[in-house]
């Protein structure tokens, strides 16, 4: 029952104290794009702010850490830390009949419900639980073969038609599940891949159009995430991070408002790029990012998603880089009204990433608080 003061305020000033007033959550339904923003079904801006949880693309054929912990516990921890999404890498080999998930503790206190399941069925379990607790999933074709990275989206063993048919299978399989945000078409295309060169076997811009349009023909609700290459007009950058070619050769999809460009960015933990040794480091970093991928967002061409970025955070250069990146992406509280900023997924949740380590420490349980402190201000909980 409302108090007499509340009743007076309602009748005098029109204040609404109804206990049944519903607050509409952010992130509802399928997502689309508008200008440089990702929008939910109610046209509210969204920032993807998540983690990479890898393993389906490796010879274990399942996300790592399940020999130590229950998958639901880890996903709940992701949510509790403020993340809203998981980038989930896979290899096409995952879907071969002989690819048996391994490295899982199937005991009752760990992952008994995964016993006897194949890779796709375990992926279903992760997707279903993500939907229950409010996390979103981006599927990432990380490599064709589980044993090695691939510069191209296909190999002799896994030709382009297999790349396309697996994407069609997944797009149909998850067609009625809005937990899946969309498809990251291929991880880190690089030389001999090119952007806009016109070679039917090597032009990643053209291949991304083929892949994106093939997916959208069976599932028009997905976002299509297109990474860059490593070189454009003799200008080199991180594998998958060079999106300079978008200005002259944009990706064109048959379904409007579905395209998101994706970049990757790292520290000398991965490779000592020349800009780390510039006399004005780290003040030079925003211009480097603007040139390679940030301009797409700033010029309102399309949304940008930093699909991978990470560091061991062991050196002063690492710390300066991550602080600069967090400032460049923009603290959520400082974003302009009606905008949700550049999206991102940190590499990685896993501590067993040799280059960068993870959000989790080596025990697969405790959190690297130093890394988390940089990321918390740029998180975007789906409320």
Alpha-helix residue ranges (DSSP H) falling in 85-240:
119-133, 160-173, 204-218
Contact 60/22 with Cβ under 8 angstroms?
A: no
pLDDT tier, 25 (very low <50, low <70, confident <90, very high otherwise): confident
Summarised one tens digit per residue, pLDDT across range 207-216 is 999 999 999 9
Q: Which residue from 339, 359, 340 is spatially nearest to 348, judged by alpha carbons?
A: 359
Q: Which residue has the higher pLDDT, 169 or 15?
A: 169
Residue 196 neighbours by CB under 8 Å, 6+ apart = 203, 205, 232, 245, 248, 249
Q: Is residue 235 part of a domain?
A: yes
Q: Which of 133, 136, 131 is nearest to 46 (CA)?
A: 136
Q: Which of 86-90, 105-109, 239-243 has the lowest mean pLDDT?
A: 105-109
Q: Residue 1 domain-assigned?
A: no
Question: Residue 352: phi, psi to the nearest 5?
Answer: -95, 25
For the chain, how many structural domains are there in total?
1
Active site residue 308: yes
Catalytic residue among 188, 227, 248, 379: 188
Helix (H) or strand (E) holding 76: helix 71-80
Q: Region 139-160: what's the mean pLDDT?
A: 97
Q: Give a yes or no: residue 16 inside a domain.
A: no
Residue 234 lies in a domain: yes
> What integer is the mean pLDDT of 300-304?
98
Please indicate, yes or no, if residue 8 is contained in any of the structural domains.
no
Question: pLDDT tier at 24 (50, 70, 90 boundaries)?
Answer: low
The answer to whether residue 320 is domain-embedded is: yes
pLDDT for residue 22 is more than 80: no
Query: Contact at 8 Å (CB) between 47 and 332?
Result: yes
Identify the active-site residue in 57, 160, 308, 379. 308
CATH code for the domain in which residue 42 is found: 3.20.20.80
DSSP class of residue 116 equals T
**3-state secondary structure (DSSP) of residue 39:** strand
The pTM of the full predicted model, rounded to 2 decimals, is 0.94
What value does the mean pLDDT of the chain take?
94
The answer to whether residue 347 sits within a structural domain is yes
Read off the pLDDT band of 9 (50, 70, 90). Answer: very low
Which pLDDT belongs to residue 11? 41
Is position 188 annotated as part of the catalytic site? yes
């Amino acid at each position: 029952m409302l108090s007499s003061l509340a009743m007076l305020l309602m009748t005098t000033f029109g204040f609404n104290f109804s206990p049944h007033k519903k607050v509409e959550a952010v992130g509802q339904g399928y997502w689309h794009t508008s200008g440089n923003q990702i929008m939910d079904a109610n046209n509210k801006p969204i920032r993807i702010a998540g983690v990479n949880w890898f393993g389906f693309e490796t010879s274990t054929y399942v996300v790592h850490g399940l020999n130590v912990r229950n998958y639901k516990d880890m996903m709940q921890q992701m949510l509790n830390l403020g993340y809203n999404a998981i980038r989930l890498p896979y290899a096409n080999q995952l879907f071969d009949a002989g690819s048996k998930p391994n490295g899982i503790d199937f005991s009752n206190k760990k992952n008994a419900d995964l016993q006897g399941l194949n890779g796709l069925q375990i992926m279903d379990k992760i997707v279903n639980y993500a939907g229950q607790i409010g996390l979103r999933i981006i599927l990432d074709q990380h490599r064709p073969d589980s044993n090695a990275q691939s510069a191209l989206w296909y190999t002799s063993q896994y030709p382009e038609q297999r790349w396309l048919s697996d994407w069609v299978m997944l797009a149909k399989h998850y067609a009625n599940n809005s937990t899946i945000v969309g498809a990251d078409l291929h991880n880190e295309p690089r030389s001999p891949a090119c952007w806009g060169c016109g070679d039917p076997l090597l032009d990643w811009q053209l291949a991304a159009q083929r892949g994106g349009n093939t997916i959208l023909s069976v599932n028009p609700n997905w976002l299509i995430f297109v990474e860059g290459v490593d070189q454009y007009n003799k200008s080199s950058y991180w594998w998958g991070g060079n999106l300079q070619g978008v200005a002259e050769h944009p990706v064109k999809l048959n379904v409007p408002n579905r395209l998101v460009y994706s970049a990757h960015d790292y520290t000398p933990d991965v490779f000592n790029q020349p800009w780390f040794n510039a006399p004005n480091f780290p003040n030079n970093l925003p211009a480097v990012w603007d040139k390679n991928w940030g301009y797409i967002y700033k010029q309102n061409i399309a949304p940008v998603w930093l699909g991978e970025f990470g560091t061991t955070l062991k050196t002063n250069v690492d710390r300066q880089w991550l602080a600069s990146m967090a400032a460049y992406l923009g603290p959520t509280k400082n974003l302009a009204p009606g905008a949700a900023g550049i999206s991102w997924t940190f590499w990685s949740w896993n501590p067993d990433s040799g280059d960068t380590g993870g959000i989790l420490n080596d025990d697969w349980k405790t959190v690297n608080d130093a890394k988390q402190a940089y990321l918390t201000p740029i998180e975007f909980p789906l409320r």
